[in-house]
Amino acid sequence: MKIGWIGTGIMGASMCSHLIDAGHELTVYNRSVEKTSALTAKGAALAENPAQTARGMDVVFSIVGYPSDVEEVYFGDDGILSAADPGSIVVDMTTSSPDLAIRISRAAEEHRLSALDAPVSGGDVGAREARLAIMAGGDAKAFEKVKPLFEVMGKTIALMGPAGSGQHTKMANQIAITGTMIGMVEALLYTRRAGLDLDALIDVIGSGAAGSWSLNNLGRRIAAGNFEPGFMIMHFMKDMGIALDEAKRMNLGLPGLALVESFYRAAMGRGMERKGTQALFEVLDNLNALR
């Protein structure tokens, strides 16, 4: 298939690379051109803007940073909707607002396009190893056409409902992760204070009821003192903000999410916005050092 790909960051570059390896014809775009070099070296064509990325393609994927970036990529003067061919499918894999996903879907219909919102979970490791969970919202026929491409990038793939449903599913995913993260970090802080080996602890409890993706993957990074991003704090802050806004709209209180958001806000205040989400460990460790 002829595929346009917008966004070649920590996760997008790996996801796009798998599609090239699968034999598809890729055209890529990223605001920071240097982040496309590995993909163009593998044969991808380089576009100058989102419109050029979308023109003449069967499917156009986007995975960018923030809802404002999604807005620009789709609705800007050189955006996807200005150039995508009628009958093509646009797929936003950014974690973004459900309302924006619905707006894109409606605008796509006006341009005789199909749209899916399909955020992912699995972090940099899941992207590199093509083991992502992909949660989609939108038209069932479009989903079936794109599913073989999703299967190149992920292992767990589901259509959750109409437009916006993929984003709502990702919000539920992020809400669950926030609670898991604070529990995991507190457990490892306790472990270190008790004089135990972090890796040995993860070996034991990671295979039992306390086991989780966060513990078995990000916990290992904490044990190694590695706080480089598989997923940046500033992007997780964005996700938590969307989830809290959606919860407020539903008149739903989520005190656990609000608590974790406050700790990550403290991390942002310490200039840690580009560190990995596992750096919550450092935030709580520093707070305890003041006790």
Q: Which of 29, 48, 96 is nearest to 235 (CA)?
A: 96
Residues whose CB falls within 8 Å of the CB of residue 256, separated by 6 or more in sequence, listed in order: 175, 178, 179, 182
Choose, from 170, 238, 248, 275, the residue flagged as catalytic: 170
Residues whose CB falls within 8 Å of the CB of residue 250, separated by 6 or more in sequence, listed in order: none
Determine the pLDDT at residue 43: 96
Cβ atoms < 10 Å from Cβ of 12:
25
Q: What is the CA radius of gyration of the chain?
A: 20
Determine the pLDDT at residue 291: 63
Distance CA 138, CA 152 (A): 20
CATH topology match: 2-161 vs 168-289:
no
For 123, left (φ over 0), alpha (ψ -120 to 50), or beta?
Answer: left
Residues whose CB falls within 8 Å of the CB of residue 131, separated by 6 or more in sequence, listed in order: 122, 125, 154, 155
Q: Decide if pLDDT at 274 tops 80.
A: yes
Is 147 among the residues known to form the active site? no
Q: Chain-wide mean pLDDT for the chain? A: 96
105-124 confidence digits (pLDDT tens)? 999 999 999 999 999 999 89
E strands of the chain, at which residues?
Answer: 2-6, 25-29, 45-46, 59-62, 89-92, 114-117, 120-121, 132-138, 154-161
Q: Which fold has domain 2-161?
A: Rossmann fold (3.40.50)
Determine the pLDDT at residue 277: 92
41-83 confidence digits (pLDDT tens)? 999 999 999 999 999 999 999 999 999 999 999 999 999 999 9
Q: Which fold has domain 168-289?
A: N-(1-d-carboxylethyl)-l-norvaline Dehydrogenase; domain 2 (1.10.1040)
**SS3 of 89, please?**
strand
Determine the pLDDT at residue 231: 87
205-249 confidence digits (pLDDT tens)? 999 999 999 999 999 999 999 999 888 999 999 999 999 999 999
149-170 confidence digits (pLDDT tens)? 999 999 999 999 999 999 999 9
**SS3 of 41, please?**
helix
Locate the domains of the chain by residue range.
2-161, 168-289
